[in-house]
Structure 1
Amino acid sequence: MALSVSGLGSNLPIDDLISKLMSVESQPLQKLNSKEASYLAKVSALGQIKGAVSAFQNATRALQDSSKFNAVKSSSGNTDVVTISAGSKAASANYSIKVEELAQSQKLASGIFSSASSAIGGGKLTFTFGSTSGGSFTPNAEKIPKTVTIPDNATLNDIRDAVNKADIGVSASVVNDGSGNRLVFSSNTTGTASTLKIENSDDGGALAGFAHVPGGSTLTEVQAAKDARFTLDGLTIVKQSNTVTDAVEGLTLTLKQKQKAEDAAVSLSVTRDSSGIKKTIEDFVKSFNELNSALTQASSVDMNATTKPGEARPAAALSGETVIRTIRTQIRNVFNSVQDVGGAYRVPADVGLGFNQDGSMKLDTGKLQKAIDSNPQDILKLFGSVGTPTDPQVSFVSASGKTASGDYAVNVASLPNGVLGGAGVVPSALTVAPGGQIFQVKIDGTSSAMLTLPAGTYTPASLATALQSAINGDATLTAAGAKVAVSVDSVTGKLVMSSQKTGTSSTVEVLSGLDAVGTSPVNLFNNGAGVAGSANVSGTIGGYAATGNGTVLTGAVGTPVEGLAIDIGGGPTGERGTVGFAKGFAFALDGVLAQLLDDKRGAIASRTEGLNNSVKELGKQRDVLNRRLEDVEKRYRAQFTALDAMVSQFNNIGNFLSQQLAGLNKS
C-alpha cells in the first residue's frame, strides 16, 4: 500500500479521491467474486444431488433382491404335532395332515456284565444297515458295511468308545439297568431300512456276545425301528425320517408327535408373503420422490417474486443447469423402456408405478397387489436380473450393468477339484451279482485297497451313493485325507467322480474294475485319470474366455458377458449347457444411476469438475486483477502527489505575489 497523503500542500482530499477511483476500478474484481460464489454454490448443490441419486440407487438395488419376491409364509395349526417351513418353490396352498406314527431308530442291548471296566477281549465288529423281516435281513444297498476294530483286552467301556470314535452311524452307550451293565447299540438313522446286523470276526470269540444276526444269534431289541407314517390330504405317506422334505416340493415337514385316532387333523397353510415386495417398492417410490424434490429445489425459479425491470428472478443454485435435465431424462427413459424378460409385466406401470404432473411418483397399491397375487415370479423378472442355467450344478451368481441379455453356452476346462467323467450311461436298474464288484481307485495320488461294490440292484442315484461310500470307507484313503463325491450328471445320465480336495494335487483315477459293472456289464468309468484340479475354475461363457475365482466363473471385460458370474458347483468338465440372462427394470436403472454417479465420466462428476476448473480460472484472473489494481493505485497516488506538489507550488507563488502587491500598495 502506498504512503497515504492528505493534500498537505494543496489541501485536496486525495485519499478520498483515490478510494472512490479504486472503487470504480475494482468493479471487475467484485464481479469475479460474485461469479466464484455462484460456482461454489453450484458445486455444493451438486454434492447434495449426488447424495440423493446415491440414496435412490440403494433403493433401486433393493429391488434386485430376489428373496423379497420369493418369500412365502407357512404355519401349522398345532406346532406340538408338526411344524412346516416353506422354500421359494413352495406353492400357495392349504393342507390337512394327521401323524399316525413317528419314525424311530433301532436299539439293541447286549447281555448283562457285572463290570463295565473288566477285560472282555478284542477283535472286529462289522455293522451292516438294512431291513429286517422276521429272521430275514436285506442289506441297504446305499450304505456300505462298516467294520470297527476292538483292541485286545477291551472292556465294555472300551468297546463303546471304539464304536463311537469310528463314526459309522451307530452310537454305543453303557447302561446299568439295576441288574448289571449292558452295551446298547443305537442306529443313528431312523426308519426300518436302517436296522442293524452285527457280525464279529471270530465266531464264538470274545465278541460273540455282541453279534446280532437276524435268524441267528441276536441281541435284545429294546426299541424297534419304525417308519414315519402320516396322511396328507387323505393320502397315506410313509417315510424313513420325521423330517420330510420330498412329500411336497418346497416344503419341509417336521413330525413331532403321534396323534390319537380320535384327534383331528392338523391344518397347514402356505401363502405368499407380499409384505417384503410391498415395502421394497414403497421405499423405492419414497426414495424417488426425495430425489425428485431435491432436483426441483436445486433448480427452481421464484416466479412469484417482485422484480424491477431488467432484474432476474431469484433462482436456486442449479437453475438452468443441463445436468438436472440429464438426470431426469435418463431416469425417465428407463421407466418408459420395455423390459423383455419373458414375464407378464414389461414396464413398471404394469404393476402400479406411475407419475403425477409435478414429476413425483405414485403407487397404485391395488394394481400392485393384484400383480403379486397372480404372478409374483414375473414381478421379480420385471425388477431384477434373471440368470437361468440349464445345468442343475451351475448356479447364477450375479451380473454387471454391462452384461448383455442373451443365452450363453458354458464350457468348463478345469475345476478346483480333480474330476473324472463317466464313460457310459447308467441304466435305471443295474444289478451287481453276489460277491460284489471288485475295483480300485487312486485319489489325490493315494491308491486304495481293492474295494467292493456290494451285490444288489441299484438305481443311478443309489449306485453313486454306494460307490462313494465304498471309496470313502477305505482305510488307506481315509488316513491320507482323500475323499470323493460321486454324483449322476442329470444331463448325460453318466456318473461323475470328484475329489474333495482342491488345487493341482487334486486328482481322480480309476485303476481297475469299473469298466464292466453288473450282470449286464456297463462301462461306468474307463481306466485312467480324469482332469486334475486347479487353483480356480477355468472355462468360457458364450465362447469368451472367463476369469475363475474358486468355483465362480466370471465373463471378461469387453465381452457381451462382462460381469456375468456363475458358480460351478461340481459335475464334469466340458460342455455344461447354457445360461440365459435377462435384465430387469431395476438392473437397467441401476446401470444408468451408476453411470450418472461415475466419479470420472458421470454427468455429475463432469459438471462438478468443470465448475471447479472455472473457480481455479477465476482465481488466476483475480490475481491478475489484484496486481493491476495495485499498479493503478500507485499511478493514482503518484499523479495526485505530483498534483499536490504543483498546487502547493502555485499556492506559494500566489502567496508571494500577494505579499509583493500588498507591499506596493503601502508604499
Structure 2
Amino acid sequence: MAFSVDGLVSGLDTTSIVKQLIDIQRRPITLMENKQANLIDQKAAWQEVSTRLLALESSSNKFNAPSTFASRSSKFLNNNSNGGSVLSVSAGGSVASGSYDMVVTQLAKSQKSSSNNFASLTAAANVSGTLTITPNGESAVNISITSSDSLTDIRDSINNSAVGDSAVATIINTGSQYKLVVTSIDTGTANSFTISDVTGGSQNLTFTESQAALDANFTIDNISVTKSSNTVSDVIDGATIELETIGSGTISFAVDTSAILAKVQDFADKYNALMDYVREQFTYEQDQNKKGALFGNVSLETIQAQLQSIVSGVVPGLNAGNSGEFAFLAQVGIKTDNLNQLVIDEADFKDALRDNFSKVQDLFVPSGSGTYTFLAADGFAVGGTYETQVIDSGGGVAALQMRRSGTTNWITLTQNGNFASGPNDTDLEGVLLRTGTLTVGDPAGSMKVTVGIAERVSAFTAKYTEHSTEGLVFNQNRTIEQRDKELQIQIDDLEERLAKREDDLKARFVNLETLLANLSSEQSYLDSQLSTLSKGWK
C-alpha cells in the first residue's frame, strides 16, 4: 500500500531519504540490467552473423559442384536463307565446348484423326454404338455411345476414359459445322493410335486421319538421328535442343565466362559483407569508449580465421607447381586486400577460365582422379594424395582402405555394391568413389582428392548455423539466453528483497514519527505542569 511518511513531527523528507537508500542498494540490479541490454545486443549481432553466413552458404551452393560451376553459352547459326528459326538450344554445365552441324529434315508430329461433320454441339448426335480407340502398344479402349449423346458428350466420354492418358478429343468449328478431332498427346510414331467408326445410329461417326504421327529426323555431324519428340535432350550430353522447322545450321557451345564471373562475384560480395560485419564487431573507438557487441568473442574470431584460411589459402590437394595447376585464388585474379576483402580482376579471371577452365574449376569444386572413379566429396574431407589397398574385412569380403600421404592411419571405406564412401569424422568424410567389383588382393593404387573452396565454405557455413549442439551460432545464442535467464532470476530476487527493505524503512520512519509525536506530547504535558507549579510558588 502506498503512503507518505514525510516527517510530520521531525520535519524530515523521509520519502526522499527512503528512495535514496533504496537507489543505493539497487545499483547491483542496474548493473545486471545493463548486462541484459548487452546480451540483447549480442544476440542481435549473432543473428546478423547468422544471416550473413546463410547468404554466403547460399551463394557458394550455386557453384560448388561441376554441374553448377560450369555455366555454358550456346548459340545456333542458321543456314536458312528465309531466316526462319530451325531450332533453339540450351546448355547445362556438363556440356563440352565445341560445335555441331545440324540438318533437320522432319519434325515430330502428333496423329490427328477428324470426324465427319455435325450440325450442333449440344443436340443429340443420333450416333449409337461402340467407339474403339487403341493407342499403339496398348489395350483397346471401348467407349459406349447412345443416340441421345451430343457431340460434346462424346468428346467428354473420350477424355474421361482410359484413352485420356494417350489422346485428347476436341471439337473444331469449321464455320457452319462441327468436327470431333482426336489427337495423340505425345508426338512420334510410337504414340499413334487406331480409331473405329460408329455406324449403329441414324447418323454415322466416321474418322479420317488428317495428320499422321511422325518422328523427328535430323543429322548431327552427318550422323542420322530419329526421335519421337521435337525436344531432344539425350543427343548432346548436357544440352537440350528444341526442333522448330526444317533447315540446317551449326550449334556451338562455349564457356560462359560472364555467367561464372557473376557467380564468383556474388560469392565475393557475400563473403565481404560477412567480413565487414565481423570487423565492425572487433572495432574499438577509444575516443568514444565504444566497441562492437561481440568485441573479443572467441567464437566469432574462429569463424573469421577459418573462412579467411579457406578463401586465401592453398586448396588442399592442389599444387601450383604441377603442370600449371592452380592452388589458390590469387593465381586466377581473385586477391585479398588489406581489409581481408576479396577483390576480383575480371580480365585475369576470364583469361584463366578460357585458357585453363578445368583447373579453375578445381579451385572451387571437389575433384579427384586415380585408381577409382571420383564422384563426390564433402566440404570437410581433406584433400591430398591417398594410397589405396583392398583388404579382407572378414569372411573374404573385400574392403577398400585409403591413407593420406604423410599419415599412418588407414581409413576403411563403406562398400555398397560398386561404390565406396568415406566415413564421417575422417579425412574422407563424404568422399564417394565408383570402385566396380573389389577383390581381396587387388593391386595397390592411389587417388588424388581435392575439395574446392566453394564446397568447403558451404560445408563450414552450414555447420556454423545448424540448429543443434554442433552449430556454433546456435550454441552462442543458447549461452546468451541462459545467462539472461540467470540474470533475471537474480534481478527478481533482489527486487523482492528491496521491496521488503523499502517497506521496512518506511515502517521504521513511521515508528520514528510516532515516537517523536509521543515525546512531543509528553514534553507539552511537562511544560504545562511546570508552568502550573511555577504559578503556585509565586
Scaled by the length of structure 2, the TM-score of the pair is: 0.62
Determine whether 1:287 maps to 2:270.
yes
Return the offset for 1:292.
2.5
Return the offset for 1:29.
1.4
1:565 to 421, 432, 442: 432
Determine whether 1:352 maps to 2:333.
yes
| Distance in 2 (alpha carbons) for counterparts of 1:7 and 1:549 | 90
323 and 87 in structure 1: CA distance in 2 versus 1, 3 angstrom threshold:
closer
| Distance in 2 (alpha carbons) for counterparts of 1:600 and 1:316 | 25
Please say if residues 417 and 437 of structure 2, whose CA atoms lie closer than 8 Å, have aligned partners that are also in contact.
no
1:555 to 422, 437, 442: 422
390 and 258 in structure 1: CA distance in 2 versus 1, 3 angstrom threshold:
farther
1:585 to 453, 461, 483: 453
Please say if residues 341 and 583 of structure 1, whose CA atoms lie closer than 8 Å, have aligned partners that are also in contact.
no
Aligned residue identity for 2:258: S
Determine whether 1:364 maps to 2:345.
yes
Number of aligned pairs? 411
Tell me the equivalent position of 2:378: 399
Tell me the equivalent position of 1:484: none
Match runs of 1:590-629 below 5 Å: 590-597=458-465, 599-629=468-498
SS of the equivalent of 1:62 reads coil
| Distance in 2 (alpha carbons) for counterparts of 1:252 and 1:560 | 38
Return the offset for 1:600.
2.2
| Distance in 2 (alpha carbons) for counterparts of 1:255 and 1:638 | 97
| Distance in 2 (alpha carbons) for counterparts of 1:619 and 1:173 | 78
Cα offsets for 1:520-573 (capped at 9, x unmatched): xxxxxxxxxxxxxxxxx99546375544678764322344323223467xx656
Determine whether 1:321 maps to 2:297.
yes
Tell me the equivalent position of 2:54: 54
SS of the equivalent of 1:77 reads strand
Name the one with the larger helix percent.
Answer: 2
Tell me the equivalent position of 2:318: 341
Match runs of 1:508-547 below 5 Å: 540=400, 542=402, 545-547=412-414
Match runs of 1:314-463 below 5 Å: 314-339=290-315, 340-341=317-318, 344-388=325-369, 390=371, 396-402=375-381, 405-407=384-386, 409=388
Per mean C-alpha deviation after superposition, the further-off stretch among 53-62 and 605-614 is 605-614
614 and 352 in structure 1: CA distance in 2 versus 1, 3 angstrom threshold:
same
Return the offset for 1:651.
0.9
Aligned residue identity for 2:20: K
Aligned residue identity for 2:33: N
Return the offset for 1:363.
1.5
| Distance in 2 (alpha carbons) for counterparts of 1:255 and 1:40 | 61
Aligned residue identity for 1:66: P
Tell me the equivalent position of 2:77: 77
SS of the equivalent of 2:368 reads strand
Please say if residues 341 and 584 of structure 1, whose CA atoms lie closer than 8 Å, have aligned partners that are also in contact.
no
Cα offsets for 1:14-35 (capped at 9, x unmatched): 3332222212221221111112
Aligned residue identity for 2:262: K
SS of the equivalent of 2:380 reads coil
1:661 to 527, 530, 537: 530
61 and 71 in structure 1: CA distance in 2 versus 1, 3 angstrom threshold:
closer
Cα offsets for 1:459-505 (capped at 9, x unmatched): xxxxxxxxxxxxxxxxxxxxxxxxxxxxxxxxxxxxxxxxxxxxxxx
Please say if residues 61 and 590 of structure 1, whose CA atoms lie closer than 8 Å, have aligned partners that are also in contact.
yes
Q: State, as a whole percentage, how many aligned pairs show the same letter.
A: 22
| Distance in 1 (alpha carbons) for counterparts of 2:283 and 2:462 | 25
| Distance in 2 (alpha carbons) for counterparts of 1:550 and 1:319 | 52
Aligned residue identity for 1:596: Y
Please say if residues 60 and 458 of structure 2, whose CA atoms lie closer than 8 Å, have aligned partners that are also in contact.
yes
| Distance in 1 (alpha carbons) for counterparts of 2:327 and 2:13 | 81
Match runs of 1:92-107 below 5 Å: 92-93=97-98, 97=101
Please say if residues 106 and 246 of structure 2, whose CA atoms lie closer than 8 Å, have aligned partners that are also in contact.
no
Return the offset for 1:3.
6.7
658 and 596 in structure 1: CA distance in 2 versus 1, 3 angstrom threshold:
same
| Distance in 2 (alpha carbons) for counterparts of 1:18 and 1:85 | 82
SS of the equivalent of 2:430 reads coil
Aligned residue identity for 1:587: E
Cα offsets for 1:191-218 (capped at 9, x unmatched): xxxxxxxxxxxxxxxxxxxxxxxxxxxx
| Distance in 1 (alpha carbons) for counterparts of 2:383 and 2:428 | 6
Match runs of 1:45-444 below 5 Å: 45-78=45-78, 92-93=97-98, 97=101, 239-241=223-225, 266-302=249-285, 305=288, 313-339=289-315, 340-341=317-318, 344-388=325-369, 390=371, 396-402=375-381, 405-407=384-386, 409=388
SS of the equivalent of 1:399 reads coil
| Distance in 1 (alpha carbons) for counterparts of 2:245 and 2:514 | 119
Please say if residues 62 and 280 of structure 1, whose CA atoms lie closer than 8 Å, have aligned partners that are also in contact.
yes
Please say if residues 68 and 276 of structure 1, whose CA atoms lie closer than 8 Å, have aligned partners that are also in contact.
no
SS of the equivalent of 2:335 reads strand
Return the offset for 1:365.
0.8
SS of the equivalent of 1:24 reads helix
| Distance in 2 (alpha carbons) for counterparts of 1:90 and 1:601 | 39
| Distance in 1 (alpha carbons) for counterparts of 2:502 and 2:510 | 12
Please say if residues 381 and 451 of structure 2, whose CA atoms lie closer than 8 Å, have aligned partners that are also in contact.
no
Gaps of 5+ in 1: 105-168, 175-185, 191-227, 260-264, 306-312, 414-536
Tell me the equivalent position of 1:482: none
| Distance in 1 (alpha carbons) for counterparts of 2:385 and 2:423 | 16
Return the offset for 1:631.
4.4
Return the offset for 1:355.
3.2
Scaled by the length of structure 1, the TM-score of the pair is: 0.51
Aligned residue identity for 1:659: S
Name the Cα RMSD after superposition: 4.8
Return the offset for 1:368.
0.9
Please say if residues 78 and 249 of structure 2, whose CA atoms lie closer than 8 Å, have aligned partners that are also in contact.
yes
Return the offset for 1:281.
0.4
Please say if residues 74 and 270 of structure 1, whose CA atoms lie closer than 8 Å, have aligned partners that are also in contact.
yes
Return the offset for 1:64.
0.8
SS of the equivalent of 1:362 reads strand
